[in-house]
Amino acid sequence: MLPPLDPGRLKAANINPATGLATDYLNHYNEIAMSIASLADIPEMRGQVLGWRPVGYPAHFLRTRYADQGLAIAGYIAAPRDVKAQFLAARADLDSRLAALQVRLAKGDGSPASLGAEAQAIFADIARLGGIINGGRSAPLLERSAEQDLVDSFFP
């Protein structure tokens, strides 16, 4: 079992002390969402979209230059069980949405513009994940809109 993590140290490292999670993880998803959004204008992004693969939370921090990567991973390990369950469920939903889009893109189902238009739903899923990271309320979180989750996460 991990020793308790210092909330001040977590906050200084941009890790939410209540959830143990850092929004830096969302960069992994924001990059692919922006690539998808640009498909209509830059069809050459197709290869980048098709080559993207999801990366788990600890792996993301191990491969980035995040200054407090060890603390970010420790926070994830120590995250409350309900928070981690919601986080993993939201991440699985987002990964599934992205995988389905990649399959359609690979098969040629839909124009780059129509696939790019799906970026809005992907950004909403990212906002939902961000709401969980930022301590959005647990029970009704899955029932509210992603935009409301993000707003609520900033006002405890």
Give the pLDDT confidence of 45-89 residue by residue, as tens digits. 999 999 999 999 999 999 998 899 999 999 999 999 999 999 999
Among candidates 10, 34, 12, which has minimal Cα distance to 126? Answer: 34
From first CA to last CA, the distance across the chain in angstroms is: 28
pTM: 0.81
- CA 122 – CA 54 distance, rounded (Å): 14
| Residue 47: its H or E element | helix 46-51
% of the chain at pLDDT higher than 90: 67
Other C-beta atoms closer than 10 Å to the C-beta of 40 total 16
- Residue 144's pLDDT is 41
Higher per-residue pLDDT: 30 or 141: 30
